[in-house]
């Protein structure tokens, strides 16, 4: 009898793994817990450093964490001791993602206008689908062939797995123009980030007046290995793909920059926030550092696109006890962005300090850009949503999310100009 049960279980497991899209298979049995928002404990942050759980939204509004099956018991025990209460809102992430994807697909069949991005034709970034890394390169190739006068596309370096990190420069004719830098896709699973970055490139090219005062430097996909891996193997992959020699792979590229390196980051490779063996140990952050440093004298705004939470975060992230030198102006300008974003039915974005919640984090793009490059306006923008779909944001949200960022950015740039 036990043998029969065992056989049935095995068969069920095989069926389950076959129906799982390949990038959900790793997530069988992973749970999402929603912590009681009244609890203000540093314990989850500490547990994340130890690799026991994965905080999904570092700016805090959704209070959700992912727990791997092998850690469920331990995490539950620690929470009990600490008096942290929670609700299991998803008990099998793989099954959940599959059902959401089916719904999305059914909806798309009805509503989707036909978009194309193939090797021979990719004239627009997709808005009703997320683009694969290959489609991103096809689009950039197309852009390079068609828009020579206005743009300059270059590879600023290679990832661990030898993929290019592309930088799109949309040029201004104005010799005294200041520069805007946009970074997309640093965290692999945050697919809305590159989608918005590519949408911004297209919007800027279609609105000539945008370049009358500004040069734009947009690096729309800065963690190509991690992104690819989130398509092929693990939809929740966050880090890059460094081989940590036998231990868990990957470095959190938003903990690897050399400014207060190691404060509020993990030294444990299995943690989602592993900072890496040393500051700037990663080819991806080295490439960004060098390309940004080369242009530092003209940079006036640096925007790092992430998800999720709908927050515009201003530095510092390494400590909330020290205020950024231009904190008041960062808040004032941030509110102008948020007002712009909210127009025409856009969502609400809160302007908050990166380290204001429970989670200090150092070694991020934003702190380095303010602390070392001394760029005046530096933000991390946590895009949609507020936790309902999180990283697997519906493709229905791509266009409205781009619109609100575009409206916000335009207002912000009017203010800066
Ligand atoms: O924790 C992060 O790296 C960012 N949040 S995310 O959920 N996208 O991972 C926020 C970074 C904010 N900046 C600093 N803490 N310096
Ligand atoms: Zn992120």
Q: What is the DSSP string of 312-346?
A: EEES-SS-SSS--TTHHHHHHHHHHHHHHHHGGGP
**Is residue 60 predicted with pLDDT exceeding 90?**
no
Q: Do the beta carbons of residue 341 and residue 403 sit within 8 Å?
A: no
Going by pLDDT thresholds of 50, 70 and 90, the confidence category of residue 1 is very low
Alpha helix stretches (DSSP H) within 20-92: 43-49, 72-82
**How many whole angstroms from 194 Cα to the centroid of ligand 2?**
11
Q: Which of 70-74, 254-258, 302-306, 385-389 is predicted least confidently?
A: 385-389
**Helices and strands (H and E) in the chain: how many:** 11, 12
Q: Please give the pLDDT value at position 47.
A: 93
Q: Please give the pLDDT value at position 8.
A: 46
Pick 61 or 324 by higher pLDDT: 324
> 250-265 as b/e, with b when 16 or more CB fall inside 10 Å?
bbbbbbbbbbbbebbb
Mean pLDDT value across residues 328-343? 98
Mean pLDDT value across residues 233-247? 95
**How many whole angstroms from 312 Cα to the centroid of ligand 1?**
11
Going by pLDDT thresholds of 50, 70 and 90, the confidence category of residue 10 is very low
Q: Please give the pLDDT value at position 16.
A: 44
**Is residue 12 predicted with pLDDT exceeding 70?**
no
Tokens, residue 190: 């945050």
For the chain, what percent of residues have pLDDT higher than 70?
93
| Cα–Cα distance, 340 to 338 (Å, whole number) | 5
| Cα–Cα distance, 287 to 154 (Å, whole number) | 12
User: 176 CB contacts (<8 Å, ≥6 apart)?
Assistant: none
Going by pLDDT thresholds of 50, 70 and 90, the confidence category of residue 24 is very high
Tokens, residue 297: 């004298």
DSSP per-residue codes, 123-170? -S--SSSPPPHHHHHHHHHHHHHH-TTTEEEEEEEE-TTS-EEEEEEE
Residue owning the nearest CA to atom 10 of ligand 1: 58
Q: Please give the pLDDT value at position 360.
A: 82
Q: Please give the pLDDT value at position 13.
A: 44
Tokens, residue 46: 């500490």
Question: How far is CA 281 from each of CA 85, 184, 278, 284, rounded to the nearest angstrom?
Answer: 38, 20, 5, 9
Residue owning the nearest CA to atom 14 of ligand 1: 317
Task: Indicate if ligand 1 lies below 6 Å from the C-beta of 54.
Answer: no
Nearest ligand to residue 48 Cα? 1
Task: Indicate if ligand 1 lies below 6 Å from the C-beta of 272.
Answer: no
Q: Please give the pLDDT value at position 139.
A: 97
* pLDDT tens-digit map of 258-296: 999 998 899 999 999 999 999 999 999 999 999 999 999
Minimum-distance ligand 1 atom for the alpha carbon of 355? 15
Q: How far apart are the first and last CA of the chain?
A: 76
Tell me the whole-structure pTM to 2 decimals: 0.93
* pLDDT tens-digit map of 358-382: 578 999 999 999 999 999 999 999 9
Mean pLDDT value across residues 57-70? 88
Q: Please give the pLDDT value at position 21.
A: 74
**Is residue 356 predicted with pLDDT exceeding 80?**
no
* pLDDT tens-digit map of 141-161: 999 998 778 999 999 999 999
Minimum-distance ligand 1 atom for the alpha carbon of 254? 3
* pLDDT tens-digit map of 384-417: 999 989 999 999 999 999 999 999 999 999 999 9
Mean pLDDT value across residues 172-181? 96
| Cα–Cα distance, 245 to 264 (Å, whole number) | 24
Pick 7 or 40 by higher pLDDT: 40
Residue 240 pairs in a beta bridge with none
Nearest ligand to residue 45 Cα? 1
């Amino acid at each position: 009898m036990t043998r029969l049960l065992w056989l049935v279980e095995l068969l069920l497991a095989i069926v389950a793994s076959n129906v799982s899209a390949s990038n959900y298979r790793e997530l069988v049995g992973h749970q999402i817990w929603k912590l009681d928002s009244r609890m203000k404990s540093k314990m989850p942050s500490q547990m994340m450093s130890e690799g026991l759980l994965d905080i999904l939204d570092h700016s805090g509004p959704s209070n959700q964490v992912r727990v791997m099956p092998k850690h469920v018991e331990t995490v539950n025990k620690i929470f009990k001791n600490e008096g942290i209460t929670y609700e299991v809102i998803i008990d099998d992430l793989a099954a959940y993602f599959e059902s959401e994807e089916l719904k999305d697909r059914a909806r798309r069949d009805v509503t989707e206008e036909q978009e194309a991005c193939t090797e021979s034709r990719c004239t627009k970034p997709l808005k009703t689908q997320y683009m694969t890394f290959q489609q991103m390169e096809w689009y950039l190739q197309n852009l390079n062939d068609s828009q020579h006068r206005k743009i300059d596309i270059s590879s600023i370096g290679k990832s661990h797995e030898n993929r290019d990190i592309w930088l799109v420069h949309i040029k201004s004719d104005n010799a005294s123009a200041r520069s805007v830098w946009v970074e997309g896709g640093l965290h692999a699973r945050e697919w809305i980030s590159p989608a918005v970055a590519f949408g911004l490139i297209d919007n800027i090219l279609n609105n000539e007046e945008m370049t009358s005062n500004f040069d734009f430097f947009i690096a729309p996909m800065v963690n190509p290995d991690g992104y690819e891996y989130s398509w092929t193997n693990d939809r929740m992959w966050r880090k890059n793909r460094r081989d940590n020699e036998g231990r868990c792979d990957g470095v959190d590229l938003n903990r690897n920059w050399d400014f207060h390196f190691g404060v509020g980051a993990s030294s444990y490779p299995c943690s989602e926030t592993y900072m890496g063996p040393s500051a700037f140990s990663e080819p991806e952050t080295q490439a960004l550092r060098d390309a940004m440093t080369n242009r530092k004298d003209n940079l006036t705004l640096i925007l790092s696109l992430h998800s999720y939470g709908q927050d515009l975060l201003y530095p510092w992230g390494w400590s909330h006890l020290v205020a950024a030198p231009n904190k008041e102006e960062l808040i004032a300008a941030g509110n102008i962005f948020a007002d712009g974003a909210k127009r025409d039915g856009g969502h609400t974005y809160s302007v908050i300090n990166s380290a204001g919640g429970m989670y200090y984090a150092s070694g991020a793009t934003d702190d380095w850009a303010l602390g070392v490059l001394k760029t005046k306006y530096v933000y991390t923008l946590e895009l949609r949503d507020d936790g309902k779909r999180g990283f697997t944001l519906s493709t229905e949200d791509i266009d409205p999310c781009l619109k609100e960022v575009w409206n916000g950015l335009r207002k912000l740039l009017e203010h800066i100009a």
